Amino acid sequence: MAVYGYARCSTNEERQDIDRQKRELRAAGVPDDQIYWEYESGAKKDRVELDRMLSAAREGDTIVTTEVSRLARSTQKLCEILEEVKTRKMRLQIIGSMTLDCRPGKETDPATVAMLQVMGAFAELERAMISARVKSGLQNARAKGHMPGRPATTADSIPAPFYKIYARYKSGTISKTEIAKLYGCSRTTANKYIAIIEGTHE
């Protein structure tokens, strides 16, 4: 039976962290070519690499991730994934935490399902609290006359390595999705950089 791994970070600034996740997945027995990873929000319903992994997995296969929050920071999305694992008779392993084994011949443990759902609820709560703190900080900064935020990205500030990959895209040898993969950024960032270079960014 195949073993698949999933790693996720919200932004490409967390590149070091996603590398740690990949190392842990390899150590757990996931082959390099079966590790799916991406830079996307855990609250996002549709994620390309997560969907690709779930589409590739078959009955009896194992899905491995480092934390519940990597799969989802939305209780609804996590419950959808858990239901898919149960319905398709797969095995879900959270490294160093717990395993939900729904493969043929195995009996699904209701307590494990419930615990995973609780962990998912805490991940969603954590995200909401972080968001609230950020909004509060921005409001306080504005009240004091400060305008927080990053400087606007310009064609001059886009890193040189991206331009090299962009040249391959313009020659038609790679797609936008492959640009993001090669550069190690989200598709949103790749699309933004391309729009700035091509003068179509609003």
**pLDDT (tens digit, 9 = 90+) per residue, 148-171?**
556 678 888 888 888 888 888 888
Domain-embedded: residue 30: yes
Same domain, 99 and 10: yes
Task: Tell me the per-residue pLDDT of 108-134, one tens digit each, with 9 for 90 and over.
Answer: 888 888 888 887 776 666 656 666 666
Task: Tell me the per-residue pLDDT of 84-115, one tens digit each, with 9 for 90 and over.
Answer: 999 999 999 999 889 999 999 888 888 888 88
| Average pLDDT over the chain, rounded to an integer | 85
Domain end: 122, 151, 181, which one? Answer: 122
Same domain, 74 and 166: no
As for how many domains the chain has, the answer is 2
CATH number of the domain where residue 87 is located:
3.40.50.1390
Q: Which domain holds residue 191?
A: 160-198
How far CA 173 is from CA of 78, 170, 177, 181, in Å, comes to 36, 8, 12, 14
Please give the distance of CA 187 from its chain centroid, rounded to a whole number. 12
Nearest 10 degrees: Cα torsion 93, 75, 132, 95: 0
Contact 44, 73 (CB under 8 A): no
The two three-digit tokens of residue 76, written as one number: 């609804």
Same domain, 79 and 168: no
Nearest 10 degrees: Cα torsion 109, 111, 116, 118: 160
Cβ partners under 8 Å of residue 128, min gap 6: none
DSSP three-state, residue 6: strand
DSSP three-state, residue 195: helix
Whole-model pTM: value is 0.63
d(CA 202, CA 196): 8
Same domain, 190 and 99: no
Angle at 162 between CA 156 and CA 164, to 5 degrees: 105
Same domain, 95 and 171: no
**Which pLDDT score is estimated for 21?**
94
d(CA 86, CA 114): 13
Domain-embedded: residue 113: yes
Q: Report which of residues 164 and 57 the model is more confident about.
A: 57
Contact 39, 185 (CB under 8 A): yes
How far CA 129 is from CA of 17, 126, 136, in Å, comes to 21, 5, 10
Residues with catalytic annotation? 10
Contact 113, 84 (CB under 8 A): no
Contact 98, 85 (CB under 8 A): no
How far CA 4 is from CA of 63, 165, 201, in Å, comes to 5, 28, 37
**Which pLDDT score is estimated for 101?**
94
Identify the H or E element spanning 37: strand 35-39
Same domain, 112 and 168: no
Domain end: 68, 101, 122, which one? Answer: 122
Domain-embedded: residue 145: no
Same domain, 106 and 178: no
Same domain, 27 and 112: yes
Domain-embedded: residue 72: yes
Domain-embedded: residue 85: yes
Domain end: 94, 122, 150, which one? Answer: 122
Domain-embedded: residue 150: no
Domain-embedded: residue 128: no
Question: Residue 38's beta-bridge partner residues?
Answer: 8
